[in-house]
A = this chain, B = another copy of it.
């Protein structure tokens, strides 16, 4: 049984479909267009309980998942959405113990998701050229208890990274084709590269560079997520989510053909 305590976060789910990620502090009152809640009344109750606001609106006090927290980070940059995050994680092969280089850190959403998976034995090495993004990411990671699994590093992925033999290398920068060589050097044999770009021109440049560098199984996809509004007698698709989409390119580190077939590659 999981009781809500002072200092915990709750995720309020309202009948109008609103979601509020709130820190529970005694004496505080949370206001919304659907009424207010005295946060004190939550203390001692179980996560998942239902409560009513002063106007009678019936809410659920849910336990926030890591994804809830991550999607609530300050949007200092464009973030990666769940529909893409799941695919990126799966294709990258990242799991407990993995070592993964990632950048730019940006808002830190992807960084945090990766940390969630590699913990407690793995590491995320996250690069960004902006000090402020690294600082913000540190704060968010701290808040969700994942700070220790991430090394936040100031640096430009197009110029090189220190890490070698990493399991995965994930690019979310404006010029990923300039970091393809860095990725090749950093990845272990069989390592996976994932690159996320909003425009088709970026994808074309990146894919051409990947092929040039000898990467194999280069593939680019786009994911569309459709919501259904399900209610007996009135079931219908809802509008598709997300105005901004991104193309996801994946590739496997490989070697260009050797001159004499049975020699070990350097």
- Residues of A near any B CB (own CB < 8 A): 1-3, 13, 41, 44-52, 58, 60, 62-63, 65-67, 82-83, 85-91, 93, 95-97, 113, 116-117, 119-121, 188-190, 192, 198-201, 203-204, 207-208, 214, 216-228, 230-240, 242-245, 247, 249, 252-258, 261-262, 264-265
Contact = CB atoms under 8 A, between A and B. Distances in A.
Nearest to A222: B226
A199 B200 CA distance: 11
A247 B235 CA distance: 12
Contacts of A217: 13, 60, 62
B86 A236 contact: no
A258 B247 CA distance: 41
B203 A230 contact: yes
Contact of A96 (B50, B96, B235): B96
11 contacts: A2-B188, A46-B255, A47-B189, A67-B91, A87-B87, A87-B225, A203-B228, A204-B230, A207-B231, A239-B243, A240-B240
Contact of A85 (B90, B96, B188, B207): B90
A96 B117 contact: yes
Contact of A265 (B49, B83, B257): B49
Contacts of A66: 93
Contact of A235 (B189, B200, B231): B200
A121 B249 CA distance: 32
A201 B90 contact: no
A95 B82 contact: no
B255 A49 contact: yes
Nearest to A244: B239
A218 B261 CA distance: 53
A249 B52 CA distance: 26
A224 B227 contact: no
Given A83-B87, A88-B86, A199-B235, A50 B224 contact: no
Nearest to A210: B230
A79 to B, nearest CB: 14
A90 B93 contact: no
A219 B228 CA distance: 8
Contacts of A228: 200, 203, 220-222, 247
A207 B87 CA distance: 25
Nearest to A256: B50
A221 B227 contact: yes
B230 A237 contact: no
A58 B255 CA distance: 12
Which of A95, A192, A208 has the most chain B CB atoms closer than 10 A to its own CB? A95
